[in-house]
Amino acid sequence: MSGANRAEFKAACLALLDRLCIEHPAGHQSKLAARYILISRSGERIPIMFEKAPNVAAQLWLRAEHTRHLGKGLGETRSYPAHALYTEKDEKGRPIYGRHAALKAMRDMANADLVKLEIEWIGQLERVIGAILDT
């Protein structure tokens, strides 16, 4: 996807998320990430984060427990288990967080088991959100 097309696609994703979610108490980052709360039909407040940086693919971060209802065919996922946090070290021997830094401000996601889902089309994001709403 070219840079211009990626920017348009991410703008469409953000418009959908703005319509269906409320802003997370940690707020949005200006350039890298948008943080949201999605309220399920059962009333559960579900935190999500959308990567909006121009140089990366559109990616949605979710708590692993909220991905069980997604089913097959909703995109490539990568797991980020809590036990793997801070296992790598920088050149000075200090532990590295190991996830997108914008997640650290989200207390409800910072240290949880997470899944990152690559979003490739707007209908995919709609289906993911719909599945999460039903949890």
Side-chain-side CA neighbours of residue 62 (13 Å): 24
Q: What is the pLDDT, as a whole number, of residue 1?
A: 59
pTM of the shown model: 0.90
Section 101-109 average pLDDT: 94
Give the range of the structural domain holding residue 108, as residue numbers without chain letter: 3-134
Q: Could you tell me the pLDDT band of residue 69, with boundaries at 50, 70 and 90?
A: confident
Section 7-16 average pLDDT: 95
How many domains is the chain built from?
Answer: 1
Other CB atoms within a 10 A radius of the CB of residue 42 amount to 8
Q: How far apart are CA 74 and CA 67, in angstroms?
A: 10
DSSP state of 3: H
Residue 2 pLDDT exceeds 70: no
Section 78-92 average pLDDT: 91
Q: How far apart are CA 89 and CA 11, in angstroms?
A: 35
- Longest distance between any two alpha carbons in the chain, whole Å: 47
Residue 21 pLDDT exceeds 80: yes
Q: Is 14 exposed, middle or buried (0-12, 13-18, 19+ CB in 10 A)?
A: middle
Q: Is the distance from CB of 113 to CB of 77 less than 8 angstroms? A: no
Q: What is the pLDDT, as a whole number, of residue 124?
A: 93
Q: Could you tell me the pLDDT band of residue 3, with boundaries at 50, 70 and 90?
A: low
Section 58-81 average pLDDT: 85
Q: How far apart are CA 4 and CA 6, in angstroms?
A: 5
Q: How far apart are CA 98 and CA 54, in angstroms?
A: 21
